[in-house]
Amino acid sequence: MLTKGKIIETANRDWAEFYQCEASLFSTPGSRMVVSERMKGTGRVSIRFVGSHAMISIDEDVREQVEKILAEAPAGLSLGMEHFLTYFGNETIQVNSVTLANLVAEDQIIRPQAPDSKYQLRKLTGADSGKLEKLCSACTEEEVDNAYVETGHDIVLGYFVGDELAAAASTLDWGAFFDVGVITHQEHRKKGLGKSIVYELCREIYRINKIPLYRCEASLFSSLAVARSLGFSQIKDTYHMEQDMKFK
């Protein structure tokens, strides 16, 4: 069973492999810079907080600026967005997003009340792509982008009313984690579908001994409420937040 302690151990081992460092690094405050080829030409700086440490991925083009703030910062300081904004100023730094990384242990997840029996749950396949497109067309573009639910993902579930897809959730393999996304048709909200389908998706993830990861922007309160209602929280001993910004 994936207890909280097991999640922390597994997640930190996975991040240590990703960053090619010792997992013990995450138990100590401080900052480490990592040049990311994926960010080339973007001017971006992405700070991922893993335990007490700030792992700072950057575009090579802003290396000089980031090395400057790292050199002047006190030893053992985990640099965050607030330090970059104070040091370089709002006219230089553009904040893109603040993402909360929420986790829940298998023995701590909270089972929600089941939705009305008219809603039937089943797995989705590529044959359901048209139904998912119809659901997404009833949502805003921002909601669709934030949810990132697709029939081609590793595990995909849907709640149906007859032949209509009322809610969908999917997850992607992300190393030790399976990253969760959920979206509900506007006409079927406030009926417990979001909570219920995420719970069922988490059960599928636990069955394959993976860690459910529920990421959402800090200002998406409705999405965060779904996560909190199921027992998800930021576990500060491992990956718990990501801040993305860029040099203008």
List, for residues 57-83, the tens digit of each pLDDT value.
999 999 999 999 999 999 999 999 999
Residue with tokens 């010792």: 22
Question: Which domains are assigned to the chain?
Answer: 4-102+241-247 (no CATH), 120-230 (3.40.630.30)
| pLDDT tens digit sequence for 220-229 | 999 999 999 9
The reported pTM is 0.94
The predicted pLDDT at position 199 comes to: 98
Which among 108, 98, 109, 102 is positioned nearest to 234, based on CA atoms?
102
Give percent of the chain with pLDDT exceeding 90: 100
The predicted pLDDT at position 114 comes to: 95
| pLDDT tens digit sequence for 182-213 | 999 999 999 999 999 999 999 999 999 999 99
CB 166 within 8 A of CB 188: yes
pLDDT category at 40 given cuts 50, 70, 90 is very high
The predicted pLDDT at position 224 comes to: 95
Total count of residues recorded for the chain? 248
The predicted pLDDT at position 2 comes to: 95
